[in-house]
Each structure stands twice: as structure tokens, then as C-alpha cells.
Amino acid sequence: MTENIYLVMLLLFSAGIILPILTSGSPKITNILAHGLAVLGCLAIVACSVEVFMTGGVTFTYAMGLPVGSLIIRIDNLSAFFLLALGVVGTAASIYALGYSREYYKQRLGLMAALYNCFILSMALVLTVSQVAYFLIAWELMTVVSFFLVNHEYEKTANTRAAYKYILMTTLGTVFITTAFLILTMTVHSLDFQMFKGASLTSTMRNIVFFCALLGFGTKAGVIPLHIWLPEAHPAAPSHVSALMSGIMIKTAIYGMCRFFLEFLGVGPAWWGEVVLFLAIISSVLGVLYALMQNDLKRLLAYSSVENIGIILLGIGAGMVFMSNNQPVLAGLAFAAGLFHLFNHAVFKSLLFLGAGSVLYSTHTKNIEDLGGLIKKMPYTAVFFLTGAAAISALPTLNGFVSEWLTYQSLFYLPQAVTGILPRLGSVLLIALLGLTGALAANCFVKAFGVTFLAKPRSKHAEQAKEVPATMLTGMGLLSLMCFALGVWPQGMLKLLQGVLSQFAGLEVSTLFNHQWYAAAFNIPQANGVIAMPVVVGMLVLGLIAAVLVYNFNGKPKNVEGETWTCGIIPNARMEYTATGFAQPVRRAYKAFLRTKDTVTADKSLNPYHGVKMKMTVGISYLIDVWLYRPVKKGILFLVNRVKPLQSGNLQHYIGYVLLVTVVILILGVRW
Amino acid sequence: MSVLFMIIQVVVLAVLAPLVAGVIKNTKGKMQSRRGPGYFQVYFDLRKYFKKDNVISPTVSWIFLAAPYIYFATALGAAALAPTLLFDRGLHYDSIFVLIYMLALGRFFLALASLDAGSTFGGMGGSREMFINVLVEPVMMLTLFTVAMRANSTVMSQMAGAAAASGISLSAILAAIAFLILTVAETGRIPLDNPDTHLELTMVHEGMVLEYCGRSVGLIFWGSAIKQLVTILLMVNFFLPWNPVGSLPPVVWMILKVLVIAVVLAGIETSTNKMRLFRLPGLLIATGCLSLLAIIAM
């Protein structure tokens, strides 16, 4: 059954790749066909994953007649979990794309739609293929297709730059992933993932595999300091693709890490987990700090993805530390926290990207300083964006809150698992820094929503905004519902995670999350607590009822309209607080990390004492760029300049080189 | 049954919160050689607010109108979660993280509302409030962590129990000092914020709610008073859990300690000046170091 659904899914996406190219005459037909097929394909992915959860994992093999062996598709609970995220987000993004693609009717729509289908297909393959060679092919397909999607609007130079940065970084990552796989393959003499379980590696080799997997997948996930492509590539892609890239594509890297750290390598030394935790906390704090500084809505969201990958890795890193300390229950809790946050982030980040896409669709600007007042022009989009913003700020009773609670909870037990005063202090600080991240995220999304949607429009673009078409609203609405559903009743997802994690040795989840329908307990030998979201919802609802009763205790009040008081002059949009201004206190307090460069220039031509027109430019520089990438870039350029004289352009020289190389090879061949 | 007790707790705390605010105001007045407003003045103010009609700017959206309700609801939720040790909850849902993020929900909407009316003061207040929160939140986590580690649980009733069972130690004293500073921060008092000012350069919380009037402002002020009482209760039950030996029931001691903290808050407010906004990071880093020392000393 699962195999049939899987094949139908492949068929639907293949049709989705071919048909748009054939129907290039009418963009409308292309749009409906391609994205309709994508919706169906994504539903098939969901069906496939549900089927696996109901009936258990499946494996099927196809002899492909290629020299790299036969294709093995294996869908276990871990794959099914990621497939579910892909299916849900993909369905919503594809419905959204039906409306959003109208923007691209004159901009190579057929190509974009075909690539879009191919992109989803490649992610589905990455999550299901269980053989090294085909996995790497699928992985590279995913990269290349998304490269073309990032570069789709190549008329803008910034997009092309972003695309090349992206392909460069991820190719570098693939080198590491390939190395990791090669070491495993050479050890067990097989390309099948299943054979890697418990591969007998020396501890040095295991460490090398660990670092290769961490660096390789970390590049794709956007872990700081390997993140530099992410904040440029995600905003450059069309918005529904950005949603998938931030929502799912970077999570496929986490899928790879789970495979390596949970399955292939097994329980490792504690410092592996500590390395992951270190990278995770840097990613989350710096990611959100940079996000808060952005005024480009999609760039802000992209940086916030870096932050959330950090939070996911906090759960995974903590789980690894617990595993090596032989605390399987706590390890299960921590991994559940990480994976739950992964699913939640997939939902709310794609929701936010779709929301940003809607803003872009109707105002044609991403600069939040030019927006404002959209809540009145686009009421539904505003509600959906607000849902996403509240969820990502971990506010109850939305899904982000539950997974952050679980993450806090697992970090709370971390000091017990480590020994020595410094590691213990470090793990205590993790909680404080996660608190800092949460507060900065709330700050960031108050700014993003408040400046974009509230008060008066700041430009003509924003004034003329209209609500987006129904298909786009449906896509966002679906994801908003998911945010509420997973927040109000997380038990279902927690049960699912129990099933996903129970297949791994080193984790013990059977005692976790068992309680009544209204509460999921994490009963750990040392302590207990429950996640009872319905109780929290009940409190808030009762509180709201009480507030309404108190408000109307003396009868309904009379509401009189009165303009905002601005000291006697008529208020206008230029008096509103700007996004830059809103972030200013944090920018100033954290200037050591942000390296702020603010300059105020006054035009003194009209008044010699103080300028009449003042202009302020705000700049920050990114530490990682300055410390890591610029020296590397300089070094490469230096070396290239040294090598350049070899390229003389003279044919005789090149023949000379060939001769030289041949001689050297001959000598080496004889000597060995 | 526990639901009934919880509702009783919420009602009692909500009713008493303005009284605690009144005690602080009155004591502050006396310390500043004034007569000070009466203990029940806050009740009179609230009654006045809830009789008024509203003036609402045409610029605002539903966010502005909904924010006071949400803020009040989260304050009540916090009151429901506050550890009083007076009844057994049965289900241990009262995690400290629920309380912290419940308050964050109210703050989030109030900060959004501050941007909604389109005035500069509102945005300034909202921006500063979120900034102070960025400074306070990590330190708050650390300080509460000292108690949670002792209880090996983040459930507040268990934390309060463990705190009461442990004796006076250096670690507990350091943590108590740290949380006292955080109480000042959370209740928006000098030196972090000034609840009595409407001077545009210094107001934070007041600036954020400047555009509100009438019943909405009543809800916000009442909510703030409840939030203040909940914070004081956290201070009392987590960081000053020791009762002198005597025949008085614990409840009486708790009330007495709440009043003592109220007087201390008034004293702090009288004896210091408001700090510049960008001096606050230093103060809170120092507070964070105190909590770290408390953890090391444990």
C-alpha cells in the first residue's frame, strides 16, 4: 500500500515537472496544472507518512541498472515524521502558489513551476532514499534545483550573487557529507544505510565522521558560522519557495544529523553533544540578534530561521549529552523537544514567509520602513501573520510555546548530566541564553508585525495595498490552524514523536508523554511535570471572559473618536516610530557584537549651524564575515594571483605543462 | 475541586492586588514626607476608570482594542498559577515557564498596541519595554533556576515546597537579592522605570499605554497590580520562604511578608533615582552574576 502511494507521488510530481514545460502557451493553465499536481503530490506525501505511522515502516528496492547499485527506498518512522512536515507545508505552499504565481505570468512561469515540483520531489527523495549514491544524487538535485529557484529573478544582481554564494557553500558542505559517507561505506563495504548501524569504526574515525556530518549538514541547516548563504538565498527566492526552503529544506539537514547521530554512529562521547550545544546557542542568540536588526521582511525571517535551527539543535545536542551519560529517558525528552520544535518551525516559519510574500504581492516592497497600516487593507493576512509571529515568539497557546517549554525542560536537567563546575555553569547559562533568545525573538516580531501592519501607511505602496486572493489566504489559513491545533492539543504530536524515537537504541521514550487526553507528562525518575495545554487555554479563556465582564460591568461604554494626540498638529505617518528606532536600544546595548556604524549627516547648505535636512544611516557588520570569511577570501585571492601567471595564453606553454605532468606521473608510476 | 480553589485564589489575588499597590503608594508618600494617597485609593481610581467612556484614535485597529483584555486575562492566568501553597493542584501543570510566557503574551500585545496609535511616545515606550525585557528575561531564568535546581523540578508548587524545606544559606541570600532587583524590574519601578511619571523622556510602561483611556486603562492598571502581586508572591514563596517559629498559620506569615516586600519596594523607590536606560544592562548583568554565584554556592 505504502509503495503504491509512494509511486503515485513520484508520478504526480513527474507530471508536475513535465506538463508546465509543455503548456508554455497559457500561463493560467500552467499555473493550475503545475501547482494542482503539486498539491496532490504533497497530499500523497502526507498519505504515505500516515500509512507508515499506522502500519509500520517499509523498504522497497528497484534495480536501476546503474553501476552504483540498486535504489533502496526505506521509510521508517523518522522519515515519515519529516515527510509529514514536508507534506503539510508543501500542501499549504502549493495552494498559496496558485495565487502567488500570478506575479510570475510574464517571468518564466513554466520553468519556475517545473522546478518547484522538482524541488518538492527531491526533498521527498532525500528523506526516503536509503542508499548512499542515490541519497547524494537526491541531495545534490535538491541543491541545484533550489539554486535555480533562488536565481529565478536573475535580473537583480543581488539574487545572482545570493545564488552563487548558496551553491558555493552547500557544495562545500556536500564534500564533507560525501567524506562521512565514504568512511562508513569503506568500513562496512555496503552502500545501504541499514548496514551502517553500529559500524565498527576506530574512535578517531568516528570523530572524523562526526565532524564531517556536523559540518556538512550544518552548512545546509544554516548553523552559525556556516550560515552566510541563508539570509541571502532565502529572501531571493519566490516567497512560496522561500517558505519551503526555510520550512523544510534546511530541516533535511537535521534529518541527516539524526540519521548519523542516532543511528549510524550510535552513542558518542559527551563532548560531541557539547560541541552541538555550543554551535546551537551561538546560532540562536546571534541569529535572532541579526534578525532584529533587519528591515527587509524576508531577510528578517531568514535570520530568524538561523535562530530556530539553533533551538532545534539545543534539543538534539542536549539529547546527545544525555545519551552518552546513559540517561535514555532524558535523552528521549530532549530529542522530542528538538524534533517537535522542528515541526513547529516548519509550520510557522513557512506561514510567516507566505505572509511576507502576501505583503510583497500587494505592496511590491519588502522594506518594512515603507509599510504600515496593512492590518486595515489586508485583515486576513494580518491575522495569519500575527499567528505566526506569536507562535515563533513562543507565546501560549500556540505551538512554538510547547516545543520551547520542552526545550527548556530538557536543558533544565542538563547540569545533572555533566560533571565539573565549568560545564555545569555552562549548561545553566544555556537556559539563560535561551531566555535571551526568546525575549529577543518577541522583540523582533513585535517590530516586524507592528511596523508592517499597524498604525498609518508610510508610503504610497502601503496605502494602495489590497487583500490577496483566496488561494493565498487558504494556504496561510491552513498553517495558522496547524499552529493553533498543535499548541492547544500537542498530545497527538507527542505520541507521534514517541513512535519516531522509540526505534533508536539509546533513547527511552515509553514512559514519556503518557497521561490523560488533556495532559502529557514527562515523568522522569527525579521529578515530574505535565504539559497540560488545555488547562492553560482554559485559564486564558476564563481570563478573557472575566475581562469582558469587568469591562462592561457598568454597561457598555460610549466610544468617541479622537485623533492621536501629537501636541496639537495633525498626526502623519512620519511621526510613527520606525523599525530602526524600535530596534535601537538593543542595537546600542549589543554594539560589541553588532559593530554598529551609525552616521548622521546634516545638509548645511540652508542653515550653517544645524542642518535642515538630516540623514541617518545605520549599519552593522557581521562578526563572522569579518573574522572568518574575509580573511579566507583574501587568502584565496592572494593564492589565485600567485597562480595566475601560469595561465599565459600561449599554446606552447600549455603543451609544456602537459608534458611536465606526464613525466611526473610516469616517474611516480615507476617508483611505486 | 482544585479548579474551584484555583478560581478562589484568582479572585482573592485580583481583589487584594490594588490594596498592595495602595500600600506601596501610601508608604512611599510617607517616606517622602507627604501624607500619600490612602490605602484604598487604587480601588477608587479603578472604580472611576470603569465608569468612563472611551476616546479612541481612528488610526488604531482591533489589536489596540483587544490588547487590554488579553493583558488582563494573562494577569489573571498568572494569578491562577502563582504559588501560594494553599491548595494541592493535583495536576502539576504550574510550570514556571508557563507563568513566564503567560506574562510574555500580555507584554507582546501591549507592545503591539503601543505601535498601533501611530504616536511617537507609544513606540518609544514599547521599544523600551521590550528592551528591558531582553535584559530581564535571561537573568530571571537564572535566578528562578537556583530554586528550581534545589527542587529538581520546574513545577512551581514543588519549587516553593523545596524552598521552604531548605534552610538559610549563602546561596539563598544571594538569589533573594537578585530576585529583589528583578521584582523592581518586573513591577516597573525606579531605578528601571518610573510608574509615576508622564515625562516623555523617562516613561517606559506609562509611555506604552499612553493612548489608552477609560475602561481599557482600568483593565491595564488592574492587570499591572495583579502582576505586581504575583511577582511579590514569587519573591516571598521562593526566596523568603522561612517563617519564624510561632503559632501563626503560614498564610498570615505570607501576608505579612508581602506587606514587608511592598514597604521595601517603596523604600527602594524613595531612596534611588531613575537610571539612564543604557545603564540598565550593567545593573542586570550584576544581578545575573549574583544568581550565578548563588548557583556556584549551592
DSSP assignment of A56-100 equals --EEEEE---STT--EEEEE-HHHHHHHHHHHHHHHHHHHHHHHH
Q: What is the pLDDT of residue A200?
A: 83
Q: pLDDT for B226-267, tens place per residue?
A: 999 999 999 999 999 888 777 788 888 899 999 999 999 999
Q: Is residue A214 part of a domain?
A: no
Chain mean pLDDT for chain B? 91
Is B47 at the interface with chain A, CB within 8 A? no
Q: Which helix (H) or strand (E) holds A46?
A: helix A27-55
Radius of gyration of chain A (CA): 27
Q: How far is A89 from chain B (nearest CA, A)?
A: 26
Q: What is the pLDDT of residue A219?
A: 95
Residue A475 vs residues A105, A116, A382: alpha-carbon distances, Å = 20, 16, 14
Which among B101, B118, B219 is the nearest to A455, CB-wise? B118
* Chain B residue with Cα closest to A555: B51
- Between CA A298 and CA A461 the distance in angstroms is 17
**Could you tell me whether strands A559-561 and B54-56 are parallel, antiparallel, or unpaired per DSSP bridges?**
parallel
Q: What is the pLDDT of residue A528?
A: 67
Which burial class, exposed, middle or buried, applies to A380 when counting CB atoms under 10 A from its CB (0-12, 13-18, 19+)?
middle
Is B297 at the interface with chain A, CB within 8 A? no
Q: Is residue A271 part of a domain?
A: no
Which among B55, B93, B114 is the nearest to A530, CB-wise? B93
Q: How far is A437 from chain B (nearest CA, A)?
A: 8
Q: How far is B27 from chain A (nearest CA, A)?
A: 29
CB proximity under 8 Å: B 14-43 to A: none
Please give the span between the terminal C-alpha atoms of chain A, in angstroms, as a whole number.
Answer: 56
Is B117 at the interface with chain A, CB within 8 A? yes
Residues of chain A with pLDDT under 50: none
Radius of gyration of chain B (CA): 19
Whether A517 and A447 map to the same domain: the answer is yes
Whether A314 and A458 map to the same domain: the answer is yes
Q: What is the pLDDT of residue A524?
A: 64
Whether A185 and A290 map to the same domain: the answer is no
Q: CB–CB of A401 and B101 under 8 A?
A: yes
Q: Which three cell numbers stand for residue A592?
A: 560589541
Domain count along chain A: 3
Residues from chain B that touch A585, judged by Cβ atoms under 8 A, are 127-128, 131, 277-278
* For testing contact with chain A, the best of B52, B97, B140 (most A CBs within 10 A): B97
Q: What is the pLDDT of residue A79?
A: 95
Q: How far is B42 from chain A (nearest CA, A)?
A: 16
Residues from chain A that touch B218, judged by Cβ atoms under 8 A, are 550
- Supply the DSSP symbol for A341: H
Q: What is the pLDDT of residue A648?
A: 84
Q: What is the pLDDT of residue A279?
A: 96
Whether A525 and A637 map to the same domain: the answer is no
Whether A369 and A457 map to the same domain: the answer is yes
Q: Is residue A568 part of a domain?
A: no
Is B133 at the interface with chain A, CB within 8 A? yes
* Chain A residue with Cα closest to B104: A395
- Between CA B131 and CA B280 the distance in angstroms is 10
Q: Which residues of A521-547 are buried (b: 16+ CB within 10 A; e: fewer)?
A: bbbbeebebbbbbbbbbbbbebbbebb
Bond into A608 cis (ω within 30):
no
Q: In angstroms, how far apart are the furthest CA atoms of chain B?
A: 60
Residues from chain B that touch A429, judged by Cβ atoms under 8 A, are 142, 292
Q: Which three cell numbers stand for residue A367?
A: 522594506
Q: What is the pLDDT of residue A672?
A: 61
Residue A355 near residue A476, CB atoms below 8 Å: yes
Q: Which three cell numbers stand for residue A335?
A: 530529542
- Between CA B95 and CA A407 the distance in angstroms is 13
- Between CA B59 and CA B119 the distance in angstroms is 10
- Between CA A358 and CA A468 the distance in angstroms is 6
**Could you tell me whether strands A58-62 and A71-75 are parallel, antiparallel, or unpaired per DSSP bridges?**
antiparallel
When pLDDT is cut at 50, 70 and 90, the band that residue B176 belongs to is very high
User: pLDDT: is A445 or B92 the higher one?
Assistant: A445
Q: Which pTM was predicted? A: 0.95
Q: Is residue A306 part of a domain?
A: yes
| Model ipTM over 0.85 | yes
Domain count along chain B: 1
Which burial class, exposed, middle or buried, applies to A376 when counting CB atoms under 10 A from its CB (0-12, 13-18, 19+)?
middle
Residues from chain B that touch A517, judged by Cβ atoms under 8 A, are none
Phi and psi at residue B198, in whole multiples of 5°? -130, 30
Residues from chain A that touch B107, judged by Cβ atoms under 8 A, are 442
Residues from chain A that touch B104, judged by Cβ atoms under 8 A, are 393-395, 438-439, 442
Residues from chain B that touch A527, judged by Cβ atoms under 8 A, are 151-153, 155, 158
Q: Which helix (H) or strand (E) holds B77?
A: helix B62-81
Q: CB–CB of B91 and A530 under 8 A?
A: yes
Q: What is the pLDDT of residue A608?
A: 73
Q: CB–CB of B69 and A428 under 8 A?
A: no
Considering A520, A551, A582, which residue would you say is the last residue of a domain? A551
Which among B134, B153, B214 is the nearest to A439, CB-wise? B134
Count of CA atoms in the C-beta half-sphere (13 A) of A116: 41
- Supply the DSSP symbol for B95: B
Q: What is the pLDDT of residue B14?
A: 96
Whether A244 and A352 map to the same domain: the answer is no
Is B156 at the interface with chain A, CB within 8 A? no
Phi and psi at residue B191, in whole multiples of 5°? -90, 5
- Identify which of A554, A311, A556 has the alpha carbon closest to the alpha carbon of residue A434: A311
Whether A641 and A494 map to the same domain: the answer is no
- Supply the DSSP symbol for A262: I
Q: CB–CB of B137 and A435 under 8 A?
A: yes
- Identify which of A6, A15, A250, A238 has the alpha carbon closest to the alpha carbon of residue A114: A15
Q: How far is A496 from chain B (nearest CA, A)?
A: 21
Whether A350 and A256 map to the same domain: the answer is no
Whether A462 and A535 map to the same domain: the answer is yes
Q: What is the pLDDT of residue A606?
A: 74
Q: What is the pLDDT of residue A523?
A: 63
Whether A237 and A328 map to the same domain: the answer is no
* Chain B residue with Cα closest to A580: B127
Q: How far is B20 from chain A (nearest CA, A)?
A: 20
Q: Which three cell numbers stand for residue A533?
A: 495545554
The length of chain B in residues reads 298
Q: CB–CB of A564 and B211 under 8 A?
A: yes
Q: What is the pLDDT of residue A515?
A: 66
Is B53 at the interface with chain A, CB within 8 A? yes
Q: Which three cell numbers stand for residue A247?
A: 520550512
Q: CB–CB of A543 and B74 under 8 A?
A: yes
Whether A256 and A286 map to the same domain: the answer is no
- Identify which of B271, B112, B286, B191 has the alpha carbon closest to the alpha carbon of residue A454: B112
Q: What is the pLDDT of residue A655?
A: 93
Q: Is residue A97 part of a domain?
A: yes
* Chain B residue with Cα closest to A432: B138
Is B208 at the interface with chain A, CB within 8 A? no
* Chain A residue with Cα closest to B143: A432
* Structural domain harbouring A191: 1-197+219-260
Residue A590 vs residues A142, A584, A616, B160, B278: alpha-carbon distances, Å = 37, 10, 19, 35, 11
Which among A390, A404, A421 is the nearest to B108, CB-wise? A390
- Identify which of A251, A220, A224, A214 has the alpha carbon closest to the alpha carbon of residue A81: A251
Residues from chain A that touch B17, judged by Cβ atoms under 8 A, are none
Q: What is the pLDDT of residue A595?
A: 87
Whether A247 and A331 map to the same domain: the answer is no
Q: How far is A114 from chain B (nearest CA, A)?
A: 41
Is B282 at the interface with chain A, CB within 8 A? no
* Structural domain harbouring B79: 2-297
Is B155 at the interface with chain A, CB within 8 A? yes
Q: How far is A453 from chain B (nearest CA, A)?
A: 9
Task: Quickly count: other Cβ atoms within 10 Å of residue B55's Cβ.
Answer: 16
